Structures are given as structure tokens and as C-alpha cells.
């Protein structure tokens, strides 16, 4: 009998017009992959592409359009996800690893599209969470000490990889929020009472839609924080310089719609909405709707004046406390790093229910002291596939280039990518010249033999499952 294991890994990545990479293909080892190169050469862009395919977001930007190379109309990321199959019966012949190709296309305008195994075009929601990734980066400290937007982004990214419906739900909430805000802005500018009376029914409709979407989003975010809370407190205590029980770190979800927490907090735990559908009882749902609608009525004048929704999930937060005090106000720099690492490790644990996520360590070693470097390395060695970006090999203690580790020289990779671009441009120019000569004086139809033809990363990525000897393009 063939059973899937948790040894799925990214075997190949192909990028077109993604950030600094016009076209590049990389092959990865199943265990440890180290991308080495000076700052600004494009190391983080490579691992950022993996993160984007996993969750439809990046730890570096709030806008997917910044991922598109300058002058391009779109960016495309293709990932070959290889799942090894374990043979549990000696009577069955060995099997080759099963490969799934995930593709995400990011346009300058319009929705992000996706494909699975070069199939029909779909929305990104159809591949969100199929690959799971956890990223440790120098920006993680902002999750603790930054503004609420950083913590909301952390919750949203985790929820996207945990719950199949979350990405689509979050997108729909944002669209409804924009529509409601547009009507509020119109009302704020209207002086004619009759025109205002025409707009109020629209506002009522969008407010109702906004409340429904917000409740669904809030109960899922609440569940994410609940799942993170236990592992976070335990891991923070293990990482702390003071591991005594009295030194406690904690998470607490702080929804803008306190009405949701008021209803659920007073309910029995058995009545709490649970995955996968997060169904709220009709009685509790009606209580939430009525309370939130009344809250909106009290805020109507202020919302019209400012043209925005003053309450809702766009104003949620998650408190991170240390010994009962807000960490952003009282924690030292070292404690901030400890809490940030604990958050990521807790995220990794929560996402490891069926299979382990890929682990990305993006330029973290230069920011950490020796003790924290060793802690995070010990954690990484216990996981499945790991991606590490560093400016120099010496940044990682005890780094060995062995059978389980692939060292990728990103500087050489960038040079090769630039050379490929030049060859492609020369091939295109040659093809144009031949076509001009053919049109000018030759009779009959000649066929281009393809000399110098540049094969793009799309073709190479689609052939990944046929390539038995995929070498490291960075070596």
C-alpha cells in the first residue's frame, strides 16, 4: 500500500518577471538549501516567491504589484512540489515521487490567477495553502513591537494556510469594505437630502454584507490566536533566559467587533465555531448582527464625515504580553527577539498538523547573537526542507556542504540569468532579421531551425517532472 508521507518538498522554482529576476530556474535539495550572495543580489526575492505561492502574501510588502519586475505586465511563479511515497508493502514495486506544479500569475491589474499542473486558469484561492511556508526574517520583531497591521498580517497569513476558505473570505471582506467606504464618502459630500435618501438603502445593504463577512473573518482569526496561544507561551518560556513558570508570555485576540467576543465568550466551549465550516448558531449569529448594527448606528455621523468604516476586522489587533505587560512597551530588545522567534515557531507547530511546512530563514543570522543563532539552527535541523539566505557562508555556524545541503551561489545565478536575457534578445533580433530577409526576396516558406532559440523558464518548469538529473543552477 502506498501512503503519502510528510516528506513533501519543493524540488524546483521558476520565476518570470518577479522582482529582480526576469527569468530564472532553481533546483532544490529535499533538506537544506543555502542561498549565498551579497546584499541586493536577489536572495530574498527567491524565498519571497515561495512564501507568496504558499499564502498569497509577502512579509516584505502589502501590495502584490510591487512583486512585478519594472516594465513588466505580470509576474509568474511556478513551484514543483514533490511528494515522496512510502512503500509499506514489499509486494508492490517502487514508485517515482509524485510532482504537483503550482503556478501563480500576478498581474498589474486584476485578480491573481493560478494553475495546477498546467491546467485551466483559476483564482488564487484554489491553491492557497497547498504549499505551507514559515518565514523567519529580521522584520519579525515588528510583529511584536510594530503597529496592529503587522499582527493582523501574521494572523491572516497563518489562517490562509490553515483554513481552505480564508483567503477567499478575506478578499471578499476587503471588496465589501471598499464598497461601503465609497458610499460613506458619497454621503459625506452630498448636500441634497433627497440624494442622501437614495444612498442610505445602499449603505444599509453594504453594512449588512460587511457585518456578515466580518463575523466570519473574526471567528476564524479568533481560532487562529487560540491555536497559537499555547505553543507560543511554552516556546517563549523555553527560549527565555528566565525559564521559570513565573516568566510568562501570552497572546490575546482583540477584535474590533467586541460584540463577537461578548457572545462567544459567554457560550459553552462546545458551542464555539470550529473548523472547517465555523458555523455559528442562528441564535448567536442574530445576537452578533443586532449588536454590531446598533454600534454602526451610533457611529454613522462620524463615518460619513471621514468616509471610512470606523469598526471592523481592519482594526483588529493581537496583544503580545510578557508577565502581564504589553511587550511592545516593556520588553527589552533581546526579549523582543525571543517573543518574535516564539511566534514563528508556534506558527510552524500549528501548521504541522498533516505535513511540515517548508522553513525559510531569511537573513536572520546577521541579526541574532550567538546563542539565538544556535537555538534557531537546532530548531531548523529538526524540520523538513529548509531555505537559508546569507551574505556569506561564515554567517552560519557549522555549515557543511554535504549530501543533505545544497549551496547556491546567487551571484553566479544572477550572472547566468543576465546572460540568458542577452542571448534571448540576440535570438529575437536574429529571428527578425531572417524574417525581413525572407519577406524581402526569398520565395517559398523557410522554417526557422531554432538556432539560438531561448527557452523560457515556463518550458523548463513544465518539464520538471521529466528531468531526472535536475542540477543546481547556482553552482
**pLDDT tens figures, 25-54:** 999 999 999 999 999 999 999 999 999 999
Does the global pTM surpass 0.85? no
Yes or no: say if 405 and 50 are a contact pair by the CB < 8 Å rule.
no
Q: Is 444 annotated as a binding residue?
A: no
Distance CA 313, CA 217 (A): 7
Q: What is the dihedral of CA 318, 323, 326, 331, to 10 degrees?
A: -120
Q: Is 471 annotated as a binding residue?
A: no
Containing 15, the helix (H) or strand (E) segment is: strand 9-18
Q: What is the pLDDT of residues 226-251, one digit of tens each?
A: 999 999 999 999 888 665 555 699 99
CA angle 350, 49, 29 (to 5 degrees): 75
Per-residue burial over 462-473, b if 16 or more Cβ lie within 10 Å, else e, is bebbeeeebeeb
Helix, strand, coil % over all residues of the chain, rounded to 5: 50, 20, 30
Three-state DSSP class for 437? Answer: helix
Q: What is the pLDDT of residue 1?
A: 28
If you average pLDDT over residues 155-167, what whole number do you get?
Answer: 95
Q: Is 99 annotated as a binding residue?
A: no
- In Å, what is the CA distance from 98 to each residue of 1, 2, 3, 439, 473? 15, 12, 12, 48, 22
Q: Is 41 annotated as a binding residue?
A: yes
* pLDDT averaged over every residue in the chain: 85
Please report which confidence band the pLDDT of residue 360 belongs to, taking 50, 70 and 90 as the band edges: very high
Domain boundaries, the chain: 134-354
Please report which confidence band the pLDDT of residue 267 belongs to, taking 50, 70 and 90 as the band edges: low
Q: Is 38 annotated as a binding residue?
A: yes
Assess if CATH 3.40.50.620 describes domain 134-354: no
Yes or no: say if 68 and 441 are a contact pair by the CB < 8 Å rule.
no
Non-local (6+) Cβ contacts of 304 within 8 A are: 184, 187, 188
Yes or no: say if 184 and 203 are a contact pair by the CB < 8 Å rule.
yes
Q: Is 37 annotated as a binding residue?
A: yes
Q: What is the pLDDT of residue 380?
A: 86
Distance CA 115, CA 101 (A): 8
Non-local (6+) Cβ contacts of 75 within 8 A are: 15, 16, 17, 18, 19, 67, 68, 69, 105, 106
Cell 543563532 locates to 373
Q: Is 39 annotated as a binding residue?
A: yes
Q: Is 117 annotated as a binding residue?
A: no
Amino acid at each position: 500500500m502506498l501512503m503519502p508521507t510528510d516528506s513533501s518538498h519543493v524540488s524546483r522554482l521558476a520565476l518570470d518577471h518577479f522582482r529582480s529576476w526576469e527569468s530564472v530556474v532553481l533546483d532544490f535539495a529535499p533538506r537544506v538549501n543555502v542561498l549565498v550572495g551579497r546584499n541586493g543580489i536577489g536572495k530574498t526575492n527567491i524565498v519571497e516567491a515561495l512564501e507568496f505561492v504558499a499564502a498569497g502574501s509577502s512579509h516584505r510588502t502589502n501590495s502584490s504589484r510591487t512583486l512585478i519586475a519594472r516594465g513588466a505586465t505580470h509576474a509568474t511563479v511556478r513551484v514543483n512540489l514533490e511528494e515522496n511515497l512510502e512503500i509499506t508493502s514489499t509486494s508492490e514495486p517502487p514508485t517515482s515521487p509524485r510532482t504537483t506544479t503550482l503556478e501563480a500569475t500576478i498581474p498589474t491589474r486584476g485578480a491573481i490567477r493560478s494553475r495546477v499542473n498546467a491546467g485551466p486558469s483559476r483564482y488564487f484561492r484554489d491553491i492557497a495553502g497547498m504549499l505551507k511556508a514559515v518565514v523567519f526574517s529580521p522584520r519579525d520583531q515588528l510583529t511584536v513591537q510594530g503597529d496592529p497591521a503587522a499582527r493582523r498580517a501574521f494572523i491572516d497569513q497563518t489562517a490562509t494556510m490553515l483554513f481552505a476558505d480564508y483567503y477567499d473570505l478575506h478578499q471578499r471582506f476587503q471588496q465589501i469594505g471598499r464598497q461601503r467606504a465609497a458610499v460613506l464618502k458619497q454621503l459625506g459630500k452630498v448636500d441634497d437630502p433627497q440624494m442622501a435618501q437614495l444612498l442610505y438603502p445602499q449603505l444599509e445593504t453594504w453594512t449588512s454584507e460587511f457585518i456578515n463577512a466580518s463575523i466570519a473573518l473574526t471567528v476564524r482569526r479568533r481560532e487562529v490566536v487560540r491555536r497559537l496561544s499555547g505553543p507560543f507561551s511554552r516556546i517563549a518560556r523555553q527560549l527565555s533566559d528566565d525559564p521559570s513558570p513565573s516568566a510568562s508570555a501570552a497572546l490575546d485576540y482583540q477584535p474590533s467587533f467586541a460584540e463577537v467576543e461578548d457572545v462567544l465568550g459567554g457560550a459553552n466551549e462546545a458551542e464555539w465555531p470550529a473548523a472547517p465550516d465555523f458555523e455559528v448558531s442562528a441564535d448567536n449569529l442574530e445576537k452578533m448582527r443586532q449588536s454590531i448594527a446598533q454600534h454602526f448606528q451610533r457611529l454613522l455621523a462620524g463615518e460619513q464625515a471621514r468616509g471610512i468604516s470606523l469598526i471592523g476586522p481592519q482594526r483588529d489587533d493581537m496583544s503580545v504580553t510578557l508577565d502581564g505587560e504589553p511587550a511592545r512597551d516593556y520588553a527589552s530588545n533581546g526579549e523582543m527577539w525571543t517573543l518574535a522567534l516564539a511566534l514563528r515557531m508556534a506558527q510552524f507547530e500549528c501548521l504541522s498538523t498533516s505535513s511540515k511546512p517548508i522553513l525559510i530563514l531569511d537573513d536572520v543570522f546577521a541579526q541574532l547573537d550567538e546563542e539565538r543563532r544556535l537555538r534557531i539552527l537546532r530548531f531548523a535541523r529538526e524540520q523538513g526542507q529548509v531555505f537559508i539566505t546569507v551574505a556569506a557562508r561564515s554567517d552560519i555556524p557549522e555549515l557543511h556542504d554535504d549530501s543533505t545541503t545544497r549551496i547556491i551561489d546567487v551571484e553566479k545565478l544572477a550572472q547566468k540569468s543576465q546572460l540568458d536575457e542577452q542571448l534571448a534578445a540576440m535570438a529575437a533580433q536574429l529571428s527578425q532579421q531572417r524574417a525581413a530577409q525572407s519577406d524581402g526576396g526569398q520565395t517559398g516558406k523557410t522554417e526557422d531551425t531554432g538556432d539560438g532559440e531561448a527557452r523560457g523558464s515556463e518550458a523548463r518548469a513544465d518539464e520538471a517532472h521529466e528531468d531526472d538529473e535536475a542540477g543546481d543552477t547556482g553552482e
